[in-house]
Structure formats: structure tokens, C-alpha cells
Amino acid sequence: MCGIAAVHDPSGRLDPTPVGMLDALTHRGPDERDHRRVGACAWLGHTRLSIVDLDGGGQPLGGPDGWTLVCNGEIYNHAELRAELGEHEFGTRSDSEAALVLLRRRGPAALGGLRGMWALCAAAPDGGFLAARDPLGIKPLYWAEVGGARYFASELRALPVAVQAAAEAFPPGCCWTPERGLVRFAEAVPVRTESPDWSQLPGEVAEKATREVLIDSVRGHLMSDVEVGVFLSGGLDSSIVAAIAAAERAEDGGRLRTFAVGTEGSPDLIAARAAARHLGTEHHEMVFDAEQALAAVDEVVASVESFDASLIRSAIPNWFLARLASEHVKVVLTGEGADELFAGYGHYHGSSAGDLDAELRRALGDLHGLNLQRCDRVTMAHGLEARVPFLDAEVIAHAMSLPAGCKELDDGFEKAHLRRAFAGWLPEELLWRRKLQFGTGSGAQETLAPKLESLATAAELDAADAPVRTREELAYYRAFRRALPRVRPEAVLTRFATA
């Protein structure tokens, strides 16, 4: 996991070299930093959090033909790509080098063959340049065009102040080259070409397939040369991830580390303790109060680079959680994405089969500006990498091949199919625990919202020249403006893009 920055300027006016962009990304990669000018038109910069190939995986990565790459993320199928492309093409054990070799050998159209989470920029001495982002936008990338030059960075704050007003999110599943402009290479929801007609098979068959594809994904997401932990809220999704990861660690003779936060007596803390006891993990927790949460608001808003109330409210406990985990591990797995795959939110239900499928696809496509943005930023603020096994391409393809009947409420419980798939892996009271959103379950909403509401009056909300909906959101907006005064609200709120 890293921070990347790049500039492509066909005029060649890259003097002075924009090294200052990396200063704003040090938190994303505290272990190393490097940069390189490539030809007359491009500059690539990188800050590194060392996870795979600790000694030899520094970036920018160069190829024998001069193509050079910086990549933020993880390529989970890099071993398979090495075998397919030929080990002689590689000079390191870095998973990111698989992206470079794939691009050199097969071009941008092959990017859909990368299984993982990533954003990258690559350049060649002859002026060739490419920027691309994974199909879901799990990893962030922003860009801006000013005076014919294009700027790219993992976070808005890393873009030069003079270009921030032109910044916007780089679209997931797309690549950009000077020759062809913006081209889509993959959709958020991949199509599984060979999928059974689940409606004609016993429910146990589909449940077994769901269990197996998730086990395979978690196993792949444990790829690392450093220890991997799990964010454990005590909810269904994180508990399933922890159960699989704990079993994998036990097979290797190790013990999984899990992490939880909340206010005193909050439901998530209590449930997480029970899950950790059952799984035998080395469990760590932190209890925060209203004063600590309020004191963190400015830093959280600056890190997340948004002012959406639901996003920031859940980001605050996540920020404390990431800080706690970073004291023990460099990588964590999370349960993000399960609700969008298996219809975990109440508003999904009551829809027809076709409407539900369309709504879940829309939700998956919006994740890059919502939960995934929060997940990436609060973890990287503390030099911690977060991985999302529910959002592996194979898991998505499988889950979206299931009929709507697998995702309907069962006796009032959402995600009943997923619960049944992991029967026996967790105690019944945890397996069938009713869903609470993280901001609620951690106690953050009840603790923080009244205090934030008091920071703005109803009259101030009515008079606000800002796209805010509540007094709480106005408080977040003010913090956002303090951190990023030139960034347009449209660049950071998904609700503008989908309105």
C-alpha cells in the first residue's frame, strides 16, 4: 500500500520537478519514498508502505524498455501472472511488477486481468503515459487538468493547490492515455461466464459455493510478508472474515489479531469480545468518549476528504480503530461490501427481483466515493493497509449470480443466505445478530451527533451557502473547508455524481 503522484505535461515544462506532491502522502507510505522523471513529459512519485518484497519492492518500478510504473494497492493474482507471463520478465518479487509487465506485454486492454485493488500511473521515455484505477475504485485516484498538463494523486491534498479547484475523482475501471483519452476496460460487477442456475438447485449448494468463494478470497487477501489482522466489530461480515482468517492462521501455527473500538458498553464492543473469545484471537480494543471523538473531527474530515454526514460519523470510530491496529500490524482485513452484495440494508427489501439487482449494482458502483473512501483514508492516515475480501472479483461475480430469492429477508433477518453459509463457524447469537451500522453499533452516532448539532444553529444551516442537509453536516463542511478550501464539493460527494 502506498501513495502515488504523477504529472504528464506534453509541453515538457516539468521544472521544478513536483516532488512536493509526495510530502502530502507520507502517511500513506512512511517506509520509503522515491520519484523519477521519465522522458521529457512525465514525472512519477511514490511513498511506500512495505508489505510484499520488503527489500526489493521499492518504486518507481522500471522495465528494460524504459516503461516505469508507480502503483498503490495489491495485485493478489501476481503469482499466477508471473507464471503466465514468464518469470524472466520480472526483476523483483513485488506484486505491483505484475501490472508493469502485463502493460508492457499486452497493453491497457489487459488491465482487467489484474485481480486486486490498485491505482497506477506508468510512463515511457518516448512520451507514452497511462493512468488507471481498479474496477470498483477500492484504491483512490484523483486527477486535474490545467494548462494542458494533467496531475494525478492518491489524495486531493497532494495535488498542487493551484490545480485543486479542477480536481475530480478518476473513474473506476477506466484508463487514460494521451492518445485515446479515457477508456473503460472493466465494469464494477464482473460477469461470471459459467454460473449454475441456482434456482434449480438446493439452497445448500449455493450456500456451499458462497462459503468456498469467500474462504478462497480471504486466503488470497492474507498474502503478505508482514502480519495481517482483522477489524472485528462483532457484526456478521467482520466476524465471518475473522473466522476464516483465524482458521487459516491456526493452520500455520499462529494466532490472529483482531481489533475493536466503541464507547463504553456499546453493542459492537460487547459482540466483538464474544466473537474474539469464540475464535481464540489476540483481541485488542479501545474505548473512546465524546470529548475524544469531538477532538478528532477536524483530523478525520481532513483524512477522509469529505463532509458527508453518514460517512464522517462512521469514519470517526474507524479512525480510532485504525490507530489502534497500526500499533500492532501493518495490514487488516475488513467486512466492507457484504451489505451491497447480499442486500444487508433494510431499504433494499420490498423491491422486485429486477429492481433489487439494479439497486445492488448501483450501490457497488458508488462504493468508491462512500465506504471504500472512508476505509482507505482512515487506515492510510495511520500507515495501515485495509483489504476487502468481500469485494474480490470472484466473490462479486458469484454473489451477483445468485437469484434475488437468496437475498430476501428470512424471518426479518437480512443476509440470511450468508448466515446459513457459515452455520457452525460462529455462535448462533453472533451469526444471527441483527445488523447495526458501524456508527450506531460503536456508539459514535449517539455520542457525537448531539455535540456536533450544537456547533451550528438552524438559522446558520438555512443561511449556509453549502450543499449540506443537517447542522451536523454543516459542522463537517466547515472542517472540510478548513482542510481543503479550494476543492469543489462536487469532487468529493457521490450524491452529486448519482443525482
Q: Which three cell numbers stand for residue 210?
A: 458462497
Helix axes 290-304, 371-380, angle to 10 degrees: 100
C-alpha cell at 154: 492518491
Secondary element (H or E) of residue 333: strand 331-333
Identify the H or E element spanning 168.
strand 168-169
**Phi, psi for 76 (deg, rounded to 5):** -75, -20
Task: Confirm if 61 and 94 have CB atoms less than 8 A apart.
Answer: yes
CA 120/CA 152 separation, integer angstroms: 10
Given the C-alpha cell 451489505, which residue does it identify?
A: 339
| C-alpha to C-alpha distance for 314 and 347, rounded to whole angstroms | 19
Per-residue cell: 46 = 511514490
Smallest CA-to-CA distance from 103 within 75, 67, 151 is with 67
List, in sequence order, the alpha helices (H) in 284-392: 290-304, 309-326, 338-342, 353-366, 371-380
**Rounded distance between C-alpha atoms, residue 132 and residue 139, angstroms:** 11
- Per 3-state DSSP, what percentage of the chain is helix, strand, and coil (rounded to 5)? 45, 20, 35
Residue positions annotated with a catalytic role: 2
Name residue, grid cell 442486500.
343
Q: Comparing C-alpha atoms, which of 318, 260, 266, 263 is closest to residue 287?
A: 263
Q: Please state whether the peptide bond connecting residue 450 to the residue before it is cis, i.e. omega within 30 degrees of 0.
A: no
Phi and psi at residue 352, to the nearest 5°: -70, 170
Contacts with 214 (C-beta within 8 Å, 6 or more apart), sequence order: 240, 244, 389, 390, 395, 421
Neighbours of 420 (CB within 10 A): 18
Amino acid occupying residue 413: F
What Rg, from alpha-carbon coordinates, does the chain have? 22
In whole angstroms, what separates CA 96 from the centre of its chain? 17
